[in-house]
A = this chain, B = another copy of it.
Amino acid sequence: MTNILAEQLNSITKLSEEEVLSIEESFPIKTFKKGAILLQPGKVARDSYLVIKGCIRKYTLEDGDENTLDFFIEGDSAADFNSLSSNKPSIFYFVCSEETNVAVLNAEKEAMLYKKYPRFETICRVEFEKMMGEKIAGIERFNALSPEKKYLDLLKNKPKLIKRVPQYQLASYLGIKPETLSRIRKRITQK
Stoichiometry, as copies per complex, reads 2
Main secondary structure of the interface of A (DSSP, over half): helix
Q: Which of B67, B91, B124 is the one whose CB lies under 8 Å from A137?
A: B91
- Tell me whether A84 is interfacial, beta carbon within 8 Å: yes
- Tell me whether A15 is interfacial, beta carbon within 8 Å: no
The answer to whether A136 and B133 touch across the interface, beta carbons within 8 angstroms, is no
Please give the number of chain A residues whose Cβ is less than 8 angstroms from any Cβ of chain B in the complex. Answer: 34
The answer to whether B82 and A130 touch across the interface, beta carbons within 8 angstroms, is yes
- Tell me whether A189 is interfacial, beta carbon within 8 Å: no
- Tell me whether A125 is interfacial, beta carbon within 8 Å: yes
The answer to whether A81 and B130 touch across the interface, beta carbons within 8 angstroms, is yes
- Tell me whether A118 is interfacial, beta carbon within 8 Å: yes
- Tell me whether A126 is interfacial, beta carbon within 8 Å: yes
Q: Which of B86, B126, B139 is the one whose CB lies under 8 Å from A130?
A: B86
Min CB gap A3→B, angstroms: 22
- Tell me whether A179 is interfacial, beta carbon within 8 Å: no
Which 3 pairs show the lowest CB-CB distances between chains A and B?
Answer: A82-B133, A81-B133, A85-B129
| Further pairs besides A81-B133, A118-B118, A121-B122: 8, Cβ < 8 Å | A70-B140, A81-B136, A82-B134, A82-B136, A85-B127, A128-B132, A135-B136, A136-B139
